A and B are shown apart, each in its own frame.
Chain A
């Protein structure tokens, strides 16, 4: 993982995003390496969410380039990014609570029956969706027995599990998770952190946006610190203290001196 020749899976150079007089991104860079969990932290207004929106196609940056596997890409919508294999788990849990787990996993990507039943009558292949949903959930060791269960019957952590499983099932390059533990209790947060590790074990790099420093330092391989619209430091949690990271984040400590670790 330390080899310097690694090509970043997702890379950004000099991203600028302005909203009227406000400069949300001021020429920020970004690098996500293969197979890592990269946390993005920063104070409110540091440009965290603008950065993530640019990387997931939710906004179009005014300047700068984004590269996926070394090739430049231009995302005009989240759908564009998704087609390129970048999946996002949204903070407010983008699930339909009354629908079954299997329906949620395949929402917008339903499988149709083979032959005339599927092509002419547009019939769903419910059986295949149920079995595939169940295998995706088992991949992440989420122990739910019936994929027919409505999502609203699940606990908060299990619901997050459904959202993560959906992203992990369809992502080919990157999974982005926006504050996945924000709404959860201690025990359930622990489960979601385990889930994030399992996504990495599947070989998918993860971008984790979080306010929760202990969570970030528990799972991240590297931490990208954003401040005033720029990347001010990238640190490794195992040789860096949480309080120093917070100091960089708030500007109490300069970032440049620790960037090349």
Chain B
């Protein structure tokens, strides 16, 4: 990662800034013009002071008399320059903010649009935390140098004007300036180069300290139940102390350079006084000009640092920009066709020789099965057999590496955008609720009246608890449904699916957090109401499997067998072992007990 201000980083950084300037031409022009006004007026205010010294103050003391005209001209010059400078400062700051925040917002919108556009397979390859920081911290970092940029441009104008002004006033005094100001600039550059790797390291450690705290507090129950508080504190303390040392290292550099950067222009002013006295003695300048140059030095000392601020932000900006750009450059969007499915009656599903791989590892191998309209098919298999991947293919969350998924004979890839979602509803294993109302979460963009929403909630056995929530359908569920229990969240997710009257309903272990008694009610309700749907259900529980017309048994990504529950029990060993595990165990136990009793009796 780029942490130093190198030529390459500078070149890239300037290119990033170029993008912003091209995008926000007008605002940038306004910011730069106003900043130039600020730069020019800073020099002008020193000049006004010098003028007043030479034409008002010194004559008054030397001759004991001045004209009212000169006096008021001096006052007007001083206040006029300050007013214009204030306008420049305000405009520069405001417009710089406008560019910076607009670019930030633009990146955020583009990045999230891309998240919404890119296929789920792309999402699978990127950690959640990284994607979140691409849209927040990276978008912020990419455009951070825009804040001091107009000021830096203004400072360049300021230095240029000051240089010319000093040259006109006195070339020898100007020489002092030409020594001091480049020295300040170089010192600043050295400062930023020394500082930025240390600051990056401190930033990195800050993130790590935060990560440890997050993980440790998330696992608080484990820490407590195993009594590992001291161990956790030690782990945290190690990193906290590294952070402390990194911050102190930053402090040493700051502590060294800040006073130097302050002392250098002060020494410059003193040099001006010494050289100026010499020049005065030869009559090359007048006292007013001496005051003017000295004052200019005090005014320039601080703004010149803005050049350093831009440089300091560049490495971070380049990294942020590259990360944002990586998201924007990602290809492989889902392509949609123009076909439309009919909108009545249960759908027919056909899965034809479908394979799917996460990267190198193929998790589904040539899976073929079908669901005839109105039928319910259970997908059964041990943990890690590929069931969840398979249902994602059915709802076209991802596309198969090979093979086809057909609904009513149409390849799902040929359907128009949104058309599949009108016919197929998936209730995933991991429920996700939006920070919205109950109604918003169930309807999710569908125009459904309250009666329909309540009907769906009833079917999902969710009407009871929703009714008890403070504001009924209008209750907000909080971020990711935080105010609800796991079972309640699952039931809302189920209602979201059934309110759409899907022609194909896919349940991926969607009632695992619900009590068995409630689950049974839901399943019976669905069977009675789902006449208009075909259903694919992933399950272990016998009660769920029993509702299916047909069972597809999956192991290690392959279909091992399919048929009715009874047929599979009879001929498929793996299936029998899985679903009858409890019963067999019970039977064996009973047998052992009988034996033991018999032994006791015989003994």
Q: Do A and B come from one complex?
A: no
Measured CB to CB, the residues of A under 8 A from B are none
Measured CB to CB, the residues of B under 8 A from A are none
